[in-house]
Amino acid sequence: MSAPLLIELLTEELPPKALSKLSTAFAEGVHMGLVKLGLVDATVAVHPFATPRRLAVLIEGVRATADDVTRRDKVLPVSVGLQADGTASPSLVKKLTVMGFADKNPADLEIENDGKQDVYFIAYTQKGAVLADVLENVLNEASSKLPIPKVMTYQIHAGTTAEQDVQFVRPVKRLVVLYGADVLPVSAFGVNADRLTDGHRFLGQTNINIPNAHEYAHILRTEGMVEPDYKIRRESIYEQLKNKAGAYAVIMPEALLDEVNSLTEWPVVYKAQFEQEFLSVPQECLILTMQTNQKYFAMTDANGALVNEFLVVSNLLTDAPEQIIEGNARVVRPRLADAQFFFEQDKKRNLDDMVTKLQTVVYHNKLGSQGERVARVQAIAAYLAEQLGADVVDAKRAAYIAKADLVSDMVGEFPELQGVMGRYYATHHGEKAEVAAACAEHYQPRFAGDALPATQIGLIGAIADKLETLVGIWGVGLQPTGEKDPFALRRHALGVVRMLLEKQLPLSLQETLVQAQNQFAGNAQVKNSVAEVKAFMLDRLRGLLKEQGYAPAHIEAVLANNPDNLSDVIAKLQAVQAFAVLPEAQDLAAANKRCVNILRKAAEKNETIAQALNPALMNEAAEQSLATAVADVRPVVTNALAQRDYTVALNTLAKLRASVDAFFADVMVMADDAAVRANRLKLLQELATLMNGVADISQLAV
């Protein structure tokens, strides 16, 4: 027998930012708990439901009783379980008691050799779990694994005077447990199961009777004015927002959509407005104010400019929404007025005065103030500008004022606007457009996949800012460990790698990191971390290239050479890809691997390598042929490398295959004659240098 199982927990208001995860975890927890007990298959349909006041799940095809299971369990070695007189030892008696078979004796057990010794086994039939008997434990286990840091402990009356402590996310008011059309006699979270639930606080009925599990959602919608399906409710909000906006575009952050969805059971969208004078404030400020403080949705016109109307997602449906609309308009005005006041006050402040105030803002107790940090970033930016042929004065100025908005009233209220407000203030005070843009762009990319700075000065500022953070924070011993990365060093490293890679910047990573490290020369608390940070950045590069679909072997071939100029990494990877499909590739990769191994072992034995090749010492035809072939291709390969035409370089090397194969087949490198041996090692050294000019092709060997 099987039937659908419905479980609903009607609660006090659940935390809105966690509702979606709670719903998924609760449904999965109940489902998998039943699967483990054999009461349902893992592949059955599971329907989670969630509103601000309820978590529910409908699971199809649940069995009333699980099938009996025949088991055969190991007990003890016979040598331990049997005494000399043939009776059970105390150890066997104790073990059988613990296993629930106190009435059994050695004659009831099976003996089997496990390859080492004879062992007692017991065969028995385990009765299948009964749904009504185990469901409370399933619920308790599922609730204990919900993704919330701290559950609430509250007391309920468990009789006339006694009180009982109960733990859940929020206090549970009702419990619905329906197996098909039947209520299962389950008690959980201090509540007895029933078929009654409550609808919307203001629009729906209370004590709604749910006749059977399948009618749950329909009854709640029609009698309770509650949309229990989280996804359907969210889609309804999305469509209502678009329809109510008309010709305007709605700014709909995913997080805000989720939050208002988690605050409503029957969402209705209304349009309100604010005074047009507030549009003189940067629209980012107004949008963030509406989103963060009031959960409103801002709108923009066809040109992307903010309009003085906004959308409200309400939990009330009414034919006369004027009070709701005016109430929300009245609430938002003081917030917008605050933003306007902050902006006007900030504009009155001189940028240089704001930068000076950064001297009083602590960056890190071992790294000094934000003002000291600004000086370091300026120096790095100046170096980068010189290397890239950019305006050094503009680069230094941008780095100087980039953090000024950190002491502004607006950023103090909304830290998310740092950089954005810096651009507005710089523009207001007449800074060059590219310098002002750099105030915002130097934070980019802010996250994986974010856009890179569009201007050269912004790009320089972004690299300088991130390198200063990487070298400084790493240098005081706060490098990432495991999942912890409080200073976002992984994000900073990936950001720099992306900028060097995608913007094709011809910078030496080593020298640039050294310049960043030099800015901490007077701080004994900052250790030299150039080598570690470079390795860390190359590891970020490795991960990025894998995400872009490059083969691991090709990536390792390029990175094995410890590239310093990342601007040509992609070109080298593409050349390796093309080379790898050539018929000569595998033989040359294997030969290169052999070549590198011979040179490594020679170095370990302190073998002498000739300063230059001596043709007179070449007695074998194969080594003469290889030396000639290397000499022939060297100018072509060298020129191709200089022109960054890595495909030509590798394709040219493919011509060495026959000579290399013959050399390793016919020539003994480690000859008895020391001079001959040194000469042959020199030939291999030149071959390896030539073959590994683009990448370590030995990594391609299968």
Boundary of a domain, candidates 347, 380, 405? 347
Q: Is residue 532 part of a domain?
A: yes
Average pLDDT over residues 478-505: 93
When mean pLDDT is compared across 110-124, 225-239, 416-430, 442-456, the lowest value belongs to 110-124
Same domain, 590 and 490: no
Average pLDDT over residues 486-505: 96
Query: Tens digits of per-residue pLDDT, 2-40?
Result: 999 999 999 999 999 999 999 999 999 999 999 999 999
Query: Tens digits of per-residue pLDDT, 581-619?
Result: 988 888 888 888 888 899 999 999 999 999 999 999 998
Same domain, 62 and 74: no
How many domains is the chain built from?
5
Residue 699 has pLDDT above 70, yes or no: yes
The pLDDT assigned to 149 comes to 72
What is the spatial distance between Cα 418 and Cα 403, in angstroms, rounded to a whole number?
8
Question: What angle, 0 to 180 degrees and rounded to 10, lies between the N-to-C axes of helices 370-388 and 392-401?
Answer: 160
- DSSP structural state of residue 198: -
The pLDDT assigned to 451 comes to 95
Residue 552 has pLDDT above 80, yes or no: yes
Residue 632 has pLDDT above 80, yes or no: yes
Q: Which of 506, 496, 432 is nearest to 461 (CA)?
A: 496
What is the spatial distance between Cα 488 and Cα 480, in angstroms, rounded to a whole number?
8
Q: Is residue 27 part of a domain?
A: yes
Same domain, 327 and 393: no
Determine phi and psi for 639, rounding to 5 degrees: -65, -40
Same domain, 80 and 106: yes
Tokens of 685: 């050294």
Same domain, 599 and 669: yes
The pLDDT assigned to 568 comes to 92
Q: Which of 215, 172, 171, 221 is nearest to 199 (CA)?
A: 221
Q: Is residue 468 part of a domain?
A: yes
Q: Where is mean pLDDT largest: 63-72, 477-486, 547-556?
A: 547-556
The pLDDT assigned to 161 comes to 58
Same domain, 215 and 184: yes
What is the spatial distance between Cα 252 and Cα 263, in angstroms, rounded to a whole number?
16
Tokens of 54: 């309820």
Sorting pLDDT into bands at 50, 70 and 90, what band is 468?
A: very high
Q: Is residue 566 part of a domain?
A: no
In sequence order, the 6+-apart residues with CB closer than 8 A to the CB of 290 are 296, 297, 298, 310, 332, 335
The pLDDT assigned to 244 comes to 97
The pLDDT assigned to 159 comes to 59
Boundary of a domain, candidates 295, 312, 347? 347
Q: Is residue 560 part of a domain?
A: no
Same domain, 632 and 696: yes
What is the spatial distance between Cα 159 and Cα 180, in angstroms, rounded to a whole number?
31
Residue 460 has pLDDT above 80, yes or no: yes
Residue 124 has pLDDT above 70, yes or no: yes
Boundary of a domain, candidates 82, 105, 126? 126
Q: Is residue 561 part of a domain?
A: no
Sorting pLDDT into bands at 50, 70 and 90, what band is 158?
A: low
CATH classification at residue 579:
1.10.730.10
Q: Which of 166, 238, 202 is nearest to 53 (CA)?
A: 202
Query: Tens digits of per-residue pLDDT, 207-255?
Result: 999 999 999 999 999 999 999 999 999 999 999 999 999 999 999 999 9
CA distances from 162 to 158, 159, 172, 189, 680 (A): 5, 5, 18, 16, 93
Average pLDDT of the chain is 94
Residue 522 has pLDDT above 80, yes or no: yes
Average pLDDT over residues 56-79: 92
Same domain, 395 and 532: yes
Same domain, 191 and 57: yes
The pLDDT assigned to 115 comes to 85
Residue 309 has pLDDT above 80, yes or no: yes
Same domain, 54 and 37: yes
Sorting pLDDT into bands at 50, 70 and 90, what band is 483?
A: confident
Tokens of 211: 């006749």
What is the spatial distance between Cα 498 and Cα 431, in angstroms, rounded to a whole number?
28
Sorting pLDDT into bands at 50, 70 and 90, what band is 42?
A: very high
Sorting pLDDT into bands at 50, 70 and 90, what band is 160?
A: low
What is the spatial distance between Cα 128 and Cα 302, in angstroms, rounded to a whole number?
64
Same domain, 14 and 156: yes
The range of the structural domain enclosing residue 400 comes to 357-549
Same domain, 301 and 188: no
The pLDDT assigned to 165 comes to 85
CA distances from 100 to 43, 75, 96, 119, 417 (A): 33, 12, 6, 19, 65
Q: Which segments of 267-321 does DSSP mark as H helices, in order?
A: 283-289
CA distances from 357 to 145, 229, 369, 428 (A): 48, 52, 10, 19
What is the pTM assigned to this prediction? 0.79
What is the spatial distance between Cα 106 and Cα 92, in angstroms, rounded to a whole number?
9
CATH classification at residue 538:
1.10.3210
Residue 162 has pLDDT above 80, yes or no: no
CA distances from 413 to 194, 293, 407, 689 (A): 49, 11, 10, 59
Question: What angle, 0 to 180 degrees and rounded to 10, lies between the N-to-C axes of helices 254-261 and 19-36?
Answer: 70
Burial state string for 432-457 with b = 16 or more CB within 10 A and e = fewer than 16: bebbbbbbbbbbbbeeeeeebbebbb
Bridge partners, 178 (sequence order): 6, 183
Q: Is residue 421 part of a domain?
A: yes
The pLDDT assigned to 114 comes to 85
The pLDDT assigned to 554 comes to 95
Q: Is residue 666 part of a domain?
A: yes
Bridge partners, 62 (sequence order): 3
Residue 417 has pLDDT above 80, yes or no: yes
